[in-house]
C-alpha cells in the first residue's frame, strides 16, 4: 500500500514542515519573541540529537544480539546529566564566557589559542564522526530497502549504494538549507534547534507507539513480554546475553565520554545553550527522555525475535514488526522516527563539523594564501558560508565513502561504538583543560595524537574488515610478525573485546601522554592565563563575587604584573605584600587592599584604564579579550624595554659629557699652566735683560767717565749674561728631559767619587753660605753604573739648595747613604726648618720658588730637572717629611752582584 511515491512525498512534506518550523523559529527569534525558544524544554529536546538512527533502529538490534548491554549507551549520558552536572555546568559556562563555536575552538582557546590543536581536534572529530554519518546513511537506506522488499507496490530499489548516495545528497542539501541559511554564522541556530526538538518528539512518539503496539498489540502485555524475554535469553547463542562487567563499565564510560565530546553534542549542549539555567531542567528531563526511548527496546527486540522470520535484520525490527502486521500508518510513523533520528544527527553533526573545518582549516588557509590576508574585508562572511557549505558536502561525502568501503554490512551498534571511541579521545584534554591548570598545549596535542593513533590502529582501521585497510595477517600476527603489536591485542593483552581493548589502551596512553608532556612542558603566558580562565570559570563569572579569589589568581596577577613592571619589581612587590601578611613566597592573599595597590602600581606603567581592565580580566568580569590584553601587555613590555634602552643611552651620554667636561677642565688647566709658564719665562728672561740693557746704555752714552764705575757696570752686564745663559741652559735641559730626547751616558764609578765631585762643584756657594757638609765615607763605597754626570747634577742641585735655603744659623747638611731592597738611598738632610707641609706637593713643580727671588738666585727649575733626571735614570727623588730639617732622598736601583 505504501508506494515509493507516497514514502518520498511523506518525507518531503515532513521536511517541509521542519523547514517551516525552523523558519518560524528564526523569524520569532529575530523579533525577540523567543521566550518559548529559550525554554529549557526546547534545550532538553535538542539534546536528543544524541539519539540517532543508531538508537532508534540499532538499539533494538543491539538488544536482540546482546541483551541488556544496549542500556550502557543510555547509562553514560544519564550519569553525566545527573552525576556530572558540575562538569557540564563548567563546560557550558566556559563555552558561554569564551564564546566558543565548537569543541575544537574550545580546546584551541584553552591551550593558548593554538590553531594546531584546533586542527587536530577537527581532524579527530571528522574522522570519528564519519562512521557515524555512514551509520545514518546506512539506516535510512536500510529502512527504504525494507519498504522496497516487503512491498512490491510499484517500486524496487535498484541498488543500496545508489540509495545511500541519494540519501547523502538529500541530507547535504537539507543541512545546507537548514544550517547555513543564516548569513550570520556566528549566531545560534534557533531554527535548527527548534526543528531538532520537533524531531525529538517525533522519534519518541514513534518509538513509544511501536513499543506500545508490540507490548499490548502483539506481545500480550507486560507479562507476555517477560516470558518472551526469558525465552529469548535461553535461545541466545552462547553467552551473548550475559552481562559482562568489563564491557558494561567500558561502554558506560565510553558513552559518557562521547556524550561530552561528540561534536554534535557539544553543539547543542554548549554552543546552542542560551541560558545556563536550561541545564537544571535538562539534568532530570533528558535522562527521562532517554529512559522513555529505551523503555520498549527490549520488548521490541524479543517480540521481533519471536514473531519475525529467522534471519530478519534485528536492526530493522522497529520497521519490520509494524509492516509484518500490516500496520502501514505505524510503519510510516516509525519510518519518520528513524528518518528524524538520522536527519537530526546529520544536520547537527554537519553543522558542528563544518564550523570546525571552516574555522580551523579552511579559513586559516584561505587567509594565509591571500595577499595582505590580515586586512579582512566584508566578503569574509560569504566566504565563510561557502566554506561551511562545502565542508558539509565534504563531510557527507566522507560518510558515504566510509559506507561504501566498509560495505555497509557491519551492525549499526558496532559502527556507533567505533565512532564513540574515536571522539572520546578528546576527553582527557577537555577535562584536563577544565580542571587542571598545569595542562599544556603540548600535552594536549601529544595526548590527542597518541589516543587517536591507537584508536585508528586498534579499532578504526580493523573495522574495514580483514580485506579492508589492514591485511588478515597483520590482524592475526601483528606488523612484521611482532606479536605484541597486534592491533587487537596490544602489548600482549589478548582476549579482550576489541572495543574495550581499544578504549583501554587509547585512553590510558592518551591520558598518560597528556599528563606527562604537560608536566614536562612549560605553558606560555597566554596558555596560563587561558588555563586560569577555564579552570576558575565558575569562581570568576559567578553572579555574586567580591575580590576574594583563590591563590591561583595571585599567580596570574604576578604573571601579568611581571609583564608590565618587569620581573624584579613585580616579584619584590608581591613578596613584600606576602611578607606583610605573614606569608613566605611570592603569592600573597589577594585582599582588596592589595588589589587596589597593584592596580595603582600597574596604572603607573600602563595607565589607569588599562590597569583596571587587566585586573578585572584576571579577577573576573571579563570585558576585554585576552588577546587585547596580551597585546597591551606586550606593547607595554616593548615600551618598557625601549625606555630602558633610552635610559641606558642617556646615562652613557651623561658619562661621556662628564668625561668631556673633565677633559676640557684639564685642557683649561693646561692652558692656564702654559700661560703661567710663559709668563714666568718672560719674567725670568726680562729681569737680567733689564740690567744688561740699562748698564749697556749707560756705557754707550759714556755718561760717566769714572773708570771704576764703568768696570763695575761691565761686570754686572757679564754676571747677568751668565745668569741668562744658565736659565736658558736649564730651560733647554728641562725641555730635552721632558720630551724624552735625552741620551744617557752610563759609566762605572763609586758613589763617594760622585759626591766628592758634587761638593767641590758647589764649594763656592757652600763657602758663601757657611754650610757644613757631613758625610759618612764608610757607606759611600758603592759601585754604580749609571749616567754619573746626570746624577752629579742632581746632587749639586740638592747641595746648593741646602746652602741657599737652609735657615739655621749654623747651617749643616748630612749626606747619608743606605741600601735596602736592592736600591741605593742617598739622603740629604739639613738642619733648617724644612719645607712647610702645604708646599711639599709644589716643590717639584717648575718655577716653584718658595722664597724670594733674590735669595734664590735661580729660576726654580732645579728640582723639576732633578725629578726628570731621576726618572730617566730609573730612580726617584722625593722630599722626606718628618726629618729634623729639609730632607731629600734620592734612590737608585743597584745592579745585582754578578
Partner 1 sequence: MTKQVLVIEDEPNIVEAISFILSRDGWKVSTHANGETAVQAVYDASPDVLILDVMLPGRSGYDILKDLRANDATRTLPVLMLTARGQRTDRELAQRLGVSKFMTKPFSNAEVLETLNDLVSG
Binding residues for partner 1, rule: CB under 8 A, are 679, 682-687, 689-695, 697-698, 701, 703-704, 709, 713, 716, 719-720, 852-854
State the minimum distance, in angstroms, from the CB of residue 672 to partner 1: 12
CA 338 to chain centre: 50
Helix 626-701, helix 608-619: angle, nearest 10 = 140
* Rounded-to-integer distance, Cα 771 and Cα 161, Å: 139
* Rounded-to-integer distance, Cα 684 and Cα 676, Å: 12
What would the grid cell of residue 589 be?
592573599
State the minimum distance, in angstroms, from the CB of residue 792 to partner 1: 30
Q: What are phi and psi of 896, to 5 degrees?
A: -70, 135
Q: Which is nearer to partner 1, 682 or 747 (CB)?
A: 682
State the minimum distance, in angstroms, from the CB of residue 741 to partner 1: 30
State the minimum distance, in angstroms, from the CB of residue 810 to partner 1: 25
What would the grid cell of residue 429 be?
584534554
| Total residues belonging to the chain | 898
State the minimum distance, in angstroms, from the CB of residue 675 to partner 1: 9
Q: For the beta carbon of residue 566, count every other beta carbon within 10 angstroms.
A: 16
State the minimum distance, in angstroms, from the CB of residue 694 to partner 1: 4
Q: Which is nearer to partner 1, 83 or 711 (CB)?
A: 711
* Rounded-to-integer distance, Cα 361 and Cα 118, Å: 8
* Cα Rg of the chain (Å, integer): 54
Q: Which is nearer to partner 1, 239 or 719 (CB)?
A: 719
State the minimum distance, in angstroms, from the CB of residue 732 to partner 1: 20
- The alpha-helical segments, DSSP class H, found in 702-779 are 707-738, 751-761, 763-769
State the minimum distance, in angstroms, from the CB of residue 700 to partner 1: 10
Q: For the beta carbon of residue 82, count every other beta carbon within 10 angstroms.
A: 12
State the minimum distance, in angstroms, from the CB of residue 853 to partner 1: 7
Question: Are residues 395 and 126 in contact, defined by beta-carbon separation less than 8 angstroms?
Answer: yes
Helix 103-110, helix 115-150: angle, nearest 10 = 160
State the minimum distance, in angstroms, from the CB of residue 893 to partner 1: 41
Q: Which is nearer to partner 1, 645 or 683 (CB)?
A: 683
* Rounded-to-integer distance, Cα 319 and Cα 340, Å: 14
Give SS3 for 620: coil
Q: Which is nearer to partner 1, 527 or 684 (CB)?
A: 684
State the minimum distance, in angstroms, from the CB of residue 724 to partner 1: 11
DSSP state at residue 297: H
Q: Which is nearer to partner 1, 272 or 684 (CB)?
A: 684
Q: Which is nearer to partner 1, 326 or 719 (CB)?
A: 719
Q: Which is nearer to partner 1, 116 or 716 (CB)?
A: 716
Q: Which is nearer to partner 1, 600 or 683 (CB)?
A: 683
SS3 sequence of 7-71: HHHHHHHHHHHHHHHHHHHHHHHHCCCCCCCCCHHHHHHHHHHHCCHHHHHHHHHHHHHHHHHHH
Closest to 322 measured CA to CA, from 203, 210, 206: 210
Element spanning 879, H or E: strand 876-879
Q: Which is nearer to partner 1, 471 or 690 (CB)?
A: 690
Q: Which is nearer to partner 1, 710 or 759 (CB)?
A: 710
Q: Which is nearer to partner 1, 295 or 765 (CB)?
A: 765
Helix 115-150, helix 317-324: angle, nearest 10 = 20
Closest to 210 measured CA to CA, from 334, 63, 335, 328: 334
State the minimum distance, in angstroms, from the CB of residue 729 to partner 1: 20
Question: Are residues 391 and 180 in contact, defined by beta-carbon separation less than 8 angstroms?
Answer: no
State the minimum distance, in angstroms, from the CB of residue 805 to partner 1: 14
Element spanning 823, H or E: strand 823-830
Q: What are phi and psi of 810, to 5 degrees?
A: -110, 85
Q: Which is nearer to partner 1, 159 or 701 (CB)?
A: 701
Amino acid at each position: 500500500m505504501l508506494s515509493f511515491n507516497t514514502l518520498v512525498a511523506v518525507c518531503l512534506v515532513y521536511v517541509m514542515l521542519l523547514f517551516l518550523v525552523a523558519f518560524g523559529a528564526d523569524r520569532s527569534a529575530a523579533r525577540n519573541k523567543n521566550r518559548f525558544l529559550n525554554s529549557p524544554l526546547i534545550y532538553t529536546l535538542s539534546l536528543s540529537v544524541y539519539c540517532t538512527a543508531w538508537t532508534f533502529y540499532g538499539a533494538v538490534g543491539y538488544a536482540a544480539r546482546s541483551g541488556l548491554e544496549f542500556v550502557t549507551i543510555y547509562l553514560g549520558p544519564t550519569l553525566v546529566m545527573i552525576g556530572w552536572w558540575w562538569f557540564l555546568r563548567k563546560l557550558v559556562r566556559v563555552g558561554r564566557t569564551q564564546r566558543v563555536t565548537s569543541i575544537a575552538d574550545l580546546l584551541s582557546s584553552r591551550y593558548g589559542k593554538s590553531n594546531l590543536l584546533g586542527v587536530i581536534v577537527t581532524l579527530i572529530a571528522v574522522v570519528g564522526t564519519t562512521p557515524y554519518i555512514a551509520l545514518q546513511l546506512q539506516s535510512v537506506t536500510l529502512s527504504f530497502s525494507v519498504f522496497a522488499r516487503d512491498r512490491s507496490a510499484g517500486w524496487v530499489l535498484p541498488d543500496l549504494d545508489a540509495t545511500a548516495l541519494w540519501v547523502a545528497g538529500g541530507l547535504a542539501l537539507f543541512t545546507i538549507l537548514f544550517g547555513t541559511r543564516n548569513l550570520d554564522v556566528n549566531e545560534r541556530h534557533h531554527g535548527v534547534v527548534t526543528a531538532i526538538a520537533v524531531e525529538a518528539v517525533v522519534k519518541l512518539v514513534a518509538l513509544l507507539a511501536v513499543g506500545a503496539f508490540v507490548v499490548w498489540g502483539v506481545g500480550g502485555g507486560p507479562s507476555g513480554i517477560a516470558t518472551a524475554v526469558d525465552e529469548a535469553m535461553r535461545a541466545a547463542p552462547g553467552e551473548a546475553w550475559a552481562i559482562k562487567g568489563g564491557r558494561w563499565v567500558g561502554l558506560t564510560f565510553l558513552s559518557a565520554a562521547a556524550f561530552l565530546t561528540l561534536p554534535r553534542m557539544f553543539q547543542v549542549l554548549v554552543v546552542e545553550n542560551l541560558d545556563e539555567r536550561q541545564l537544571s531542567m535538562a539534568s532530570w528531563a533528558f535522562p527521562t527522555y532517554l529512559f522513555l526511548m529505551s523503555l520498549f527496546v527490549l520488548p521490541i527486540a524479543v517480540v521481533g525475535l519471536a514473531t519475525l522470520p529467522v534471519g530478519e535484520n534485528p536492526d530493522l525490527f522497529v520497521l519490520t514488526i509494524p509492516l509484518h502486521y500490516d500496520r502501514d500508518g505505524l510503519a510510516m510513523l516509525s519510518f519518520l522516527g528513524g528518518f528524524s533520528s538520522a536527519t537530526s544527527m546529520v544536520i547537527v553533526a554537519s553543522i558542528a563539523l563544518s564550523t570546525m573545518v571552516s574555522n580551523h582549516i579552511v579559513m586559516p588557509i584561505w587567509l594565509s594564501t591571500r595577499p595582505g590576508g590580515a586586512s579582512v574585508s566584508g566578503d569574509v562572511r560569504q566566504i565563510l558560508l561557502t566554506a561551511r557549505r562545502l565542508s558539509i558536502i565534504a563531510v557527507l561525502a566522507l560518510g558515504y565513502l566510509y559506507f561504501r568501503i566498509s560495505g555497509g554490512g557491519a551492525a549499526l551498534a558496532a559502527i556507533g561504538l567505533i565512532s564513540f571511541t574515536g571522539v572520546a579521545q578528546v576527553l582527557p584534554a577537555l577535562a584536563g583543560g577544565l580542571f587542571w591548570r598545569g595542562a599544556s598545549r603540548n600535552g594536549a596535542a601529544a595526548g590527542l595524537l597518541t589516543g587517536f593513533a591507537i584508536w585508528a590502529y586498534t579499532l578504526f582501521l580493523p573495522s574495514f574488515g580483514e580485506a579492508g585497510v589492514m591485511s588478515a595477517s597483520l590482524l592475526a600476527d601483528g606488523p612484521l610478525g611482532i606479536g605484541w603489536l597486534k592491533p587487537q591485542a596490544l602489548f600482549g593483552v589478548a582476549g579482550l573485546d576489541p572495543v574495550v581493548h581499544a578504549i583501554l589502551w587509547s585512553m590510558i596512553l592518551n591520558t598518560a601522554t597528556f599528563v606527562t608532556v604537560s608536566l614536562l612542558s612549560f605553558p606560555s603566558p597566554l596558555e596560563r592565563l587561558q588555563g586560569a580562565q577555564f579552570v576558575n570559570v565558575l569562581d570568576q563569572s559567578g553572579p555574586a563575587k567580591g575580590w576574594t579569589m583563590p591563590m591561583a589568581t595571585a599567580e596570574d596577577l604576578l604573571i601579568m604584573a611581571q609583564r608590565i613592571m618587569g620581573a624584579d619589581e613585580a616579584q619584590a612587590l608581591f613578596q613584600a605584600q606576602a611578607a606583610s601578611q605573614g606569608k613566605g613566597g611570592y603569592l600573597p592573599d589577594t585582599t582588596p587592599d592589595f588589589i587596589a595597590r597593584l592596580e595603582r602600581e600597574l596604572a603607573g606603567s600602563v595607565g589607569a584604564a588599562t590597569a583596571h581592565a587587566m585586573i578585572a580580566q584576571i579577577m573576573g568580569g571579563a570585558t576585554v579579550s585576552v588577546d587585547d590584553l596580551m597585546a597591551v601587555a606586550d606593547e607595554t613590555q616593548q615600551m618598557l624595554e625601549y625606555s630602558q634602552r633610552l635610559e641606558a643611552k642617556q646615562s652613557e651620554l651623561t658619562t661621556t659629557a662628564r668625561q668631556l667636561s673633565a677633559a676640557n677642565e684639564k685642557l683649561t688647566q693646561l692652558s692656564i699652566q702654559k700661560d703661567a709658564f710663559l709668563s714666568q719665562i718672560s719674567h725670568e728672561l726680562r729681569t737680567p735683560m733689564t740690567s744688561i740693557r740699562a748698564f749697556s746704555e749707560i756705557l754707550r752714552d759714556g755718561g760717566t767717565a769714572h773708570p771704576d764705575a764703568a768696570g763695575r757696570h761691565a761686570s754686572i752686564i757679564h754676571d747677568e749674561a751668565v745668569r741668562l745663559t744658565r736659565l736658558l741652559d736649564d730651560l733647554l735641559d728641562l725641555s730635552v728631559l721632558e720630551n724624552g730626547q735625552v741620551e744617557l751616558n752610563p759609566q762605572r764609578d763609586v758613589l763617594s767619587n760622585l759626591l766628592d765631585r758634587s761638593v767641590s762643584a758647589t764649594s763656592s756657594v757652600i763657602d758663601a753660605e757657611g754650610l757644613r757638609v757631613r758625610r759618612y765615607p764608610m757607606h759611600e763605597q758603592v759601585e754604580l753604573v749609571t749616567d754619573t754626570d746626570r746624577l752629579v747634577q742632581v746632587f749639586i742641585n740638592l747641595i746648593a739648595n741646602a746652602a741657599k735655603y737652609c735657615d739655621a744659623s749654623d747651617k749643616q747638611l748630612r749626606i747619608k747613604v743606605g741600601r735596602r731592597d736592592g736600591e741605593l738611598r742617598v739622603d740629604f738632610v739639613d738642619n733648617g726648618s724644612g719645607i712647610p707641609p702645604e708646599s711639599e706637593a709644589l716643590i717639584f713643580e717648575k718655577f716653584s720658588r718658595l722664597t724670594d727671588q733674590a735669595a734664590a738666585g735661580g729660576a726654580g727649575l732645579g728640582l723639576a730637572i732633578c725629578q726628570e733626571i731621576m726618572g730617566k735614570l730609573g730612580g726617584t727623588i722625593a722630599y722626606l717629611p718628618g726629618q729634623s730639617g729639609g730632607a731629600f732622598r734620592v734612590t737608585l736601583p743597584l745592579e745585582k752582584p754578578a
